[in-house]
Structure 1
């Protein structure tokens, strides 16, 4: 009988509660913040363990059920409960914070405030990641742009008004390395304040932003992305240490000028052709001549071939280019794309892989292949991989005649192709 009791006592020992604090906190880090806080009811040992968490994750979806989504009053109650939870956790949070995550995906006609963000900043986080999709126009507390320990800041702010205005008197983020902003309106001196106040900034990512400034100049920036941003004038980009550039803007008609970018290794460019050709000194093809990986999507490509030799000088060589992804919008019969493909094959001696991305035309175009054209007098000896893919909204498939024409054209230009992939 005694042995049985001893055996039962051994089985009932709470071994998890006997673990060191650091290990318990590590276990809690795999849970959401809501689940971590709930562990305080397990035992006295767990009462304040969650307060030492280094990562806080707040997600509104954890406070909603499917029935809540169908009722405005219940959604507001959940919203209030969610905000009370955030304030309670931040009020009782101990020590410093490594990372703060916040996600809000709901439309509620109600006042909304991010005042709690000031409390987050006092915890000296290294990472702040905020995603907001809602109805209310937001006011971002200025204190978040004066967090001396912050290294990574991401704000996706989507409202019914489509844009959140950020006006700052001062930016002081000496440790910031990565900045990602979406759906914000930035004034004309934002870039100047940013690079003065963020001497360590290496990555800048702006999506769907209204940019009041027209100059991006930094001696330390390494990656830059401007994705469907609006700007008033010609955008000047001068970043001597930049290695990766991503620019997309099919609708914007204003120009892009690249200067002093000899370190550029990867470029992903999608522009209206009018943006590419400013003059010979600012010709974007010259500025991309050092890249090793390039993705190029051109809208209304036919415009460039009216004066192809003038716009793309024959002296340009892409001596480092190994991978090319070439997309052509509003082009079905490939006639205009031929010259560009031949140009890159001839002027890229290290090229190994090429992707031809043909988009469904926005207007009706003839389905029949065009008449045969001269392919030139040169042939490339070898290319490792050719991928032919067709893109576009809806079910659209390249006709066999066009596909055969493209393959024949490639074989005329290249003696041997290792792999041809079609999808």
Structure 2
């Protein structure tokens, strides 16, 4: 009787246990035979995932799936980022990795963008990356120096920049570009150009006319030009001529040259730098917005003369409808009270004036004099006051 009841019990419980075990077994089998669900993602999705990772992580992630083993070799967006501390602790030599990565990449694969950020960029590696980008129909190149000290090591000529496909170029590096006529860079598709920390140097010449340099007239599609903290060396006149240029920004330039601008479609102009700024502008018929900031100090010589030079610059930008200036600009204008009282404001179409200050002016009479100066040119002008406690040196990173 006991044996019979035990057999009945076994027949009742065995199917339940085997069903549960079967479910677990089927699940494990499914996972083992599925080859990872991420492996079944389309190539576009895989490349999109890679776009959020740097090149080193992309290579390391190839072990996650058999299908991903060589996918990094054809990724259309390359992101190189060198972290100093991780490199030192692991003994990882990033320049060697970057060169091997480019050498192992599928040569015929599309390459739409290269982003390179490092606190140490050798000239050899820089040339390697630029040459690779120019020869692979890359549309966007961004090279950024992350180091805290500027070394200005080495230089390269413009012959490296020859591509009919490059549309966006951003160089934030501590190297110099050597200019030797005739210009050899050829970027007809370029739309956006951003140069930061770059030294632009002309080779010495006895001909004074050769000190005039025109770097951008050969870019028929250029719409945005940004020059920040650049050192312009051995240049007499820096010419910016572009038929389609719409936005121009000059911040913290180290130079003693004159600027000549010819851009009939220019809508926005920004300048933050030293007060010794000489500008000759032609056909700025579309100019709408001007931002102008400088740094005032009591130790400057000929402050009244600098204020007069600033008014001459404003004459060149007189077609602007919106003007933003910092308080330091007003201090230069106030150094020449006769100028404010007798001379008419050059901005005849001005609709809005914004004054950026760190604190309110102590003397309201001076503030009223400035208002009256601008109002003589545009009686219906609207004034705006913007408080910004950040020091100009930090805000504009120009000195």
**Match of residue 97, structure 1, among 108, 111, 118:** 111
SS of the residue aligned with 2:95?
A: helix
Do the aligned partners of residues 27 and 201 (structure 1) sit closer, same or farther apart at CA in structure 2, a change above 3 Å counting?
A: same
Alignment of 1:230-269 (within 5 A): 230-250=254-274, 252-269=275-292
Q: Does 1:36 align with 2:58?
A: yes
> Within 1, Cα distance between the matches of 2:347 and 2:392?
35
SS of the residue aligned with 2:72?
A: helix
Aligned to 2:224: 203
Unaligned 5+ runs, structure 1: 69-73, 356-386, 395-423
Q: Does 1:295 align with 2:315?
A: no
Aligned to 1:283: 312
**Match of residue 293, structure 2, among 255, 260, 270:** 270
- Report the CA distance between 1:131 and its aligned residue: 1.2
SS of the residue aligned with 1:195?
A: coil
- Report the CA distance between 1:150 and its aligned residue: 0.8
**Match of residue 121, structure 1, among 123, 134, 143:** 134
Aligned to 2:165: 149
Partners of 1:115 and 1:141 within 8 A in 2: no
Partners of 1:17 and 1:46 within 8 A in 2: yes
SS of the residue aligned with 2:173?
A: strand
- Report the CA distance between 1:296 and its aligned residue: 1.4
**Larger relative contact order (CA 8 Å, sep ≥ 6):** 2
Partners of 1:146 and 1:172 within 8 A in 2: yes
Give CA deviations for 1:332-385 in whole Å, capped at 9, x if unaligned: 434423211234456546645501xxxxxxxxxxxxxxxxxxxxxxxxxxxxxx
Aligned to 1:8: 28
- Report the CA distance between 1:129 and its aligned residue: 0.8
Partners of 1:129 and 1:153 within 8 A in 2: yes
- Report the CA distance between 1:125 and its aligned residue: 1.2
325-334 vs 295-304, which moves further? 325-334
**Match of residue 95, structure 2, among 80, 83, 87:** 83
TM-score, length of structure 1 as denominator length: 0.70
Structure 1 runs of 4+ off > 6 angstroms? 328-331
Aligned residues: 342
Aligned to 1:415: none
- Report the CA distance between 1:255 and its aligned residue: 2.0
- Report the CA distance between 1:315 and its aligned residue: 7.8
Aligned to 2:397: none
Do the aligned partners of residues 328 and 305 (structure 1) sit closer, same or farther apart at CA in structure 2, a change above 3 Å counting?
A: farther
Partners of 1:180 and 1:206 within 8 A in 2: yes
SS of the residue aligned with 1:34?
A: helix
- Report the CA distance between 1:87 and its aligned residue: 0.9
> Within 2, Cα distance between the matches of 1:295 and 1:96?
43
> Within 2, Cα distance between the matches of 1:101 and 1:247?
27
Partners of 1:255 and 1:276 within 8 A in 2: no
**Match of residue 317, structure 1, among 348, 362, 368:** 348
> Within 2, Cα distance between the matches of 1:64 and 1:328?
37
> Within 2, Cα distance between the matches of 1:316 and 1:393?
25
Aligned to 1:175: 189
- Report the CA distance between 1:389 and its aligned residue: 5.4
> Within 2, Cα distance between the matches of 1:210 and 1:52?
38
In terms of fraction of residues, the more helix-rich structure is 2
SS of the residue aligned with 2:216?
A: helix
- Report the CA distance between 1:53 and its aligned residue: 1.4
- Report the CA distance between 1:191 and its aligned residue: 7.8
Partners of 2:219 and 2:242 within 8 A in 1: no
- Report the CA distance between 1:82 and its aligned residue: 0.4
Give CA deviations for 1:223-268 in whole Å, capped at 9, x if unaligned: 1112122344432222221111111222x52422333212111111
Do the aligned partners of residues 341 and 103 (structure 1) sit closer, same or farther apart at CA in structure 2, a change above 3 Å counting?
A: same
- Report the CA distance between 1:269 and its aligned residue: 0.9
Unaligned 5+ runs, structure 2: 1-17, 203-209, 297-302, 394-399
> Within 1, Cα distance between the matches of 2:290 and 2:128?
39
Give CA deviations for 1:11-49 in whole Å, capped at 9, x if unaligned: 443111012222222222222222111122223211111
Aligned to 1:47: 69
Do the aligned partners of residues 330 and 351 (structure 1) sit closer, same or farther apart at CA in structure 2, a change above 3 Å counting?
A: closer
Return the index of the structure with the highest Cα Rg. Answer: 2
